[in-house]
Amino acid sequence: MLEDVDKSREMITRLSDMLRYSLTKNGLDKISLSEELEMVENYIALSKIQLEERLIFTKEIDKTVLKTEIPLMLIQMLVENAIKHGISNLPNGGKVLLTISKNKNNLIIEVKNSGKLIIHKTSTKVGLENIKKRLSLMYGEKASFSLTEKAENVIARIRIPL
Centre a 10 Å sphere on the Cβ of residue 156 and count the other Cβ atoms it contains: 23
Domain boundaries, the chain: 5-161
d(CA 45, CA 51): 10
Q: 99, exposed or middle or buried, with CB in 10 Å at 0-12, 13-18, 19+?
A: middle
Q: Which CATH class is domain 5-161?
A: alpha beta
Which tens digit of pLDDT belongs to each residue from 58-105?
999 999 999 999 998 899 999 999 998 899 889 899 999 999 999 989
First to last CA, the chain: 45
Helices first, then strands: H and E counts in the chain: 4, 7
118 vs 79 pLDDT, higher one = 79
In three-state secondary structure terms, 122 is coil
Give yes or no for residue 129 having a pLDDT over 90. Answer: no
Give the per-residue pLDDT at 46.
Answer: 86
pTM for this predicted structure? 0.83
Instruction: Report how far residue 149's alpha carbon sits from residue 159's, in angstroms, rounded to the nearest whole number.
Output: 17
